[in-house]
């Protein structure tokens, strides 16, 4: 028998309802081999990036500025695993 969602929530522990799930993720990038900046790739390939309002080079990371087309994006999870975005 299906029960209303509210009834199910009422049965949950009050503390569990109030605690948000925290998932830390970081946008990372890897320079494409075909990019003219490929020689700047750090050991391991992936580096943290942030997006900035720049018409040409909208990514900051690896102590440099990059175009979106020069990199492959990924997400670094809490455990250090990088999931490549396709």
pLDDT in tens, 28-64: 999 999 999 999 998 889 999 999 998 889 999 999 9
**Res. 83 pLDDT band, cuts 50 70 90:** very high
pLDDT in tens, 2-14: 556 555 556 555 5
Q: Is residue 61 part of a domain?
A: yes
Burial (CB count <10 Å: 0-12, 13-18, 19+), residue 59: buried
Number of domains within the chain: 1
| Residue 38 belongs to domain spanning | 20-84
What is the per-residue pLDDT for 55? 84
Q: Which of 83, 54, 79 shows the shortest CA–CA distance to 67?
A: 54
Q: Is residue 3 part of a domain?
A: no
Q: Who has greater pLDDT, 81 or 2?
A: 81
What is the per-residue pLDDT for 49? 96
Q: Is residue 68 part of a domain?
A: yes
- Tell me if the pTM is above 0.85: no
Q: Is residue 13 part of a domain?
A: no
């Amino acid at each position: 028998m299906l029960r209303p969602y509210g009834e199910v929530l009422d049965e949950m522990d009050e503390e569990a309802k109030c605690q948000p799930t925290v998932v830390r993720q970081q946008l990372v990038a890897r320079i494409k081999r075909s990019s003219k900046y490929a020689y700047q790739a750090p050991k391991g390939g992936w580096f943290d990036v942030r997006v900035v309002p720049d018409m040409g080079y909208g990514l900051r990371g690896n102590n440099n500025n990059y175009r979106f087309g020069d990199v492959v994006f990924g997400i670094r999870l809490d455990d250090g695993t990088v999931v490549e975005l396709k």
